């Protein structure tokens, strides 16, 4: 199973140009695919369909869908938001055919219709400004309809490149996206607004070529971790060192350690900065709790969980094998410019795991600016620190110094609780120990961590009250499960 490619607006425009004379035209294909999916959704429930058509080519798709749905005897009402003529000739033809067949067109929200399905064809990937006037009002009406909503290409009002809702934005139950997946469907506000995403590649899939972005889906990623060999021994799966756990924060380092053990690290040494730290972890006595100087005989190092103002960062930078910098080590890196040069010069891989607040400190900006373009922010950190980076939060972005990136599709708001980030850091360390290279170890762990949270929620453990410890145990079950 290969990972779906992500194309941004500029890349899609190139495709659109390449196939502008395609037969049948792309809009005809998109509108027909929309009608097929809409019919299958509406068919489950019966009842009328309201199609909301905007002024651009997204509206064009909606007109083509309306024509096909009406021809197949669905009860259709088109709400023509701006009342202007469609730009594309195939949309003009579809609108005419729909009208000639007696199709209903209204210029106000059809309040008397109780739709079983509303199709959102107001704005697509061409929308570049805050929705206003009749467009904004139409978006609000769609959201207030109470009906199931199918968005065409992307929920209107969501930026296809960044996932940001600029103002009013449709909340879709389903989105049928065309040609390729778009980043904005899967990160930021897009996560909340897209619903279930369906892809119709308009039969171009094989012709799209390489892209800089891809989606992380557990079913594809899980195969990266080789099954255990019958002759494996504890040395086969590496030793992870962890630096953290200053006074009052020992739990953070211990959670990272438990996560690493339970997702497959051979041995885990936890170096705690708290002088009065416990001698062992009664829940995971396999963890070797030591002084920080005594955990460096390891294959990989995680630094930062609860490390406070300790020298964890400097120790990690000097470590000659792969490192994961999390939490306090990231804050230390942001504060002390002297660390940047040696970090960038490291020969072994560096992984950074900032949440948006930490990212803002690393890039000397604010959280709002980070969230306004999560992909660009993650790529900038990857470049500036010569590191593999995960920018955490809904739709985590994994970015690499070579300019490629991925968006994670797993995880849920249950993860928004203290300690889940520590668990993630430990899982990344465990994957490094088990022989995945840094980009794969990072992407695998991010996807696993979210998939474990999803599996917890699927059995009623969370989202409310989901803990990092629940996620860790579920992650163990997942790495051992069959596809």
Ligand X SMILES: NC(=O)C1=CN([C@@H]2O[C@H](COP(=O)(O)OP(=O)(O)OC[C@H]3O[C@@H](n4cnc5c(N)ncnc54)[C@H](OP(=O)(O)O)[C@@H]3O)[C@@H](O)[C@H]2O)[C@@H](O)CC1
Ligand Y SMILES: Nc1ncnc2c1ncn2[C@@H]1O[C@H](COP(=O)(O)OP(=O)(O)O)[C@@H](O)[C@H]1O
124 or 462, CB closer to ligand Y? Answer: 462
Residues that bind ligand Y (CB under 6 A): 327, 355, 392-394, 396, 411-413, 415-416, 418-422, 424, 449
Of 41 and 461, the one with the shorter C-beta distance to ligand Y is 461
- C-alpha–C-alpha distance, residues 278 and 360, integer Å: 34
CA distance 48 to 171: 20
How many CA within 13 A on the CB side of residue 90?
23
Shortest spacing between CB 125 and K ion, in angstroms: 9
Binding site members: 57-61, 120, 124-130, 153, 156, 252, 306, 355, 392-396, 421-422
CA distances from 467 to 81, 125, 165, 296, 361 (A): 46, 38, 30, 29, 27
Q: Containing H/E element for 174?
A: strand 174-178
Q: Which residues fall in the annotated binding site for K(+)?
A: 58, 120, 156
**Nearest one of 438, 431, 442 to 479, comparing CA atoms:** 431
Distance CA 66, CA 51 (A): 7
* Angle, CA 104 vertex, CA 101 and CA 105 arms, to 5°: 120
Q: Nearest approach, Cβ of 139 to ligand Y (angstroms)?
A: 23
- The least distance separating K ion from the CB of residue 209, rounded to whole angstroms, comes to 26
Nearer to ligand Y, 3 or 416 (CB): 416
* Least CB distance to ligand X at residue 122 (A): 8
Q: What is the distance between the alpha carbons of residues 173 and 253, in angstroms, rounded to a whole number? A: 40
Residue 86 is classified by DSSP as P
Of 169, 177, 175, nearest to 142 by C-alpha is: 169
Binding-site annotation, residues for AMP = 392-396, 421
H-type helices in 165-210, by residue range?
A: 189-194
Give min distance, CB of 62 to K ion, in A: 8
Give residue for tokens 């992380």. Answer: 216
Closer residue to K ion (CB): 193 or 374: 193
**Chain residues that interact with K ion, rule: CB under 5 A:** 58, 120, 151-152, 156
Q: Which residues bind ligand X (CB under 6 A)?
A: 12, 15-16, 26-27, 30, 54-61, 123-127, 129-133, 135, 152-153, 178-179
In terms of CB distance, is 412 or 469 closer to ligand Y? 412
Nearer to ligand Y, 65 or 406 (CB): 406
Contacts of 344 (CB under 8 A, 6+ apart): 384, 385, 386
Partner that binds at residue 106, options ligand Y, ligand X, K ion, none, CB closer than 5 to 8 Å by kind: none
State both tokens at 410: 């797993």
The residue at minimum Cβ distance from ligand Y is: 421
> Is the bond leading into 24 cis (omega within 30 degrees of zero)?
yes
Identity of the residue, 374 or 449, whose beta carbon is nearer to ligand Y in the bound complex: 449
Least distance to ligand X, CB of residue 479, Å: 38
CA torsion sign for 294, 300, 303, 305 is negative
Q: Which of ligand Y, K ion, ligand X, none is residue 419 near (CB under 5 to 8 Å by kind)?
A: ligand Y
Smallest gap from Cβ 128 to ligand Y, in A, equals 27
110, interface contact from ligand X, K ion, ligand Y, none, CB < 5-8 Å by kind: none
Contact partner, 26, from K ion, ligand Y, ligand X, none, Cβ < 5-8 Å per class: ligand X
From ligand X, K ion, ligand Y, none, which one binds at residue 314 (CB under 5 to 8 Å depending on kind)? none
């Amino acid at each position: 199973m290969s990972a779906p490619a992500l194309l941004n607006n500029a890349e899609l425009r190139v495709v659109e140009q390449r196939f502008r004379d395609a037969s049948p035209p792309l809009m005809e294909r998109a509108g027909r695919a929309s009608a097929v999916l809409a019919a299958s959704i509406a068919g489950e429930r019966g009842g009328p369909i309201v199609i909301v058509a905007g002024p651009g080519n997204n509206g064009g798709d909606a007109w083509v869908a309306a024509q096909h749905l009406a021809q197949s005897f669905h009860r259709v009402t088109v709400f023509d938001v701006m009342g202007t003529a469609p730009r594309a000739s195939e949309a003009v033809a579809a609108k005419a055919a729909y009208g000639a067949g007696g199709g209903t067109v209204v210029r106000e929200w059809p309040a008397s219709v109780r739709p079983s399905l509303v199709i959102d064809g107001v704005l697509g990937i061409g929308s570049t400004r805050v929705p206003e006037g009749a467009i904004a009002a139409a978006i609000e009406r769609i959201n207030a309809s109470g009906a199931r909503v199918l968005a065409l290409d992307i929920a209107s009002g969501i930026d296809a490149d960044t996932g940001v809702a600029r103002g009013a934005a449709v909340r879709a139950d389903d989105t049928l996206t065309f040609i390729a997946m778009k980043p904005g469907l899967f990160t930021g506000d897009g996560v909340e607004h897209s619903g279930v995403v369906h892809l119709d590649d308009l039969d171009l899939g094989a012709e799209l070529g390489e892209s800089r972005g891809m989606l992380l889906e557990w079913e594809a990623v899980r195969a990266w971790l080789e099954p255990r060999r019958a002759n494996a021994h504890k040395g086969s799966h590496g030793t992870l060192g962890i630096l953290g756990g200053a006074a009052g924060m020992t739990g953070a380092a211990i959670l990272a350690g438990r996560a690493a053990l339970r997702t497959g690290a051979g041995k885990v040494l936890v170096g705690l900065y708290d002088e009065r730290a416990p001698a062992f972890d009664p829940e995971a006595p396999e963890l070797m709790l030591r002084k920080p100087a005594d955990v460096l005989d390891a294959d990989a190092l995680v630094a930062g969980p609860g490390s406070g103002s300790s020298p964890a960062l400097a120790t990690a930078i000097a470590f000659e094998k792969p490192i994961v910098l999390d939490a306090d080590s990231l804050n230390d890196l942001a504060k002390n410019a002297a660390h940047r040069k040696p970090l960038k010069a490291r020969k072994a891989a560096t992984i950074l795991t900032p949440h948006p607040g930490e990212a803002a400190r690393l890039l000397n900006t604010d959280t709002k600016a980070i969230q306004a373009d999560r992909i660009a922010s993650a790529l900038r950190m990857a470049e500036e620190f010569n590191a593999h980076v995960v920018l955490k939060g809904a739709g985590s972005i994994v970015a690499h110094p070579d300019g490629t990136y991925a968006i994670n599709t797993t995880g849920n708001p249950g993860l928004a609780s203290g300690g889940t980030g520590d668990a993630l850091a430990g899982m990344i360390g465990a994957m490094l120990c088990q022989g995945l290279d840094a980009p794969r170890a990072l992407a695998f762990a991010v996807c696993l961590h979210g998939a474990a949270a999803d599996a917890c929620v699927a059995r009623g453990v969370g989202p409310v009250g989901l803990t990092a410890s629940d996620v860790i145990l579920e992650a163990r079950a997942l790495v051992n499960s069959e596809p």
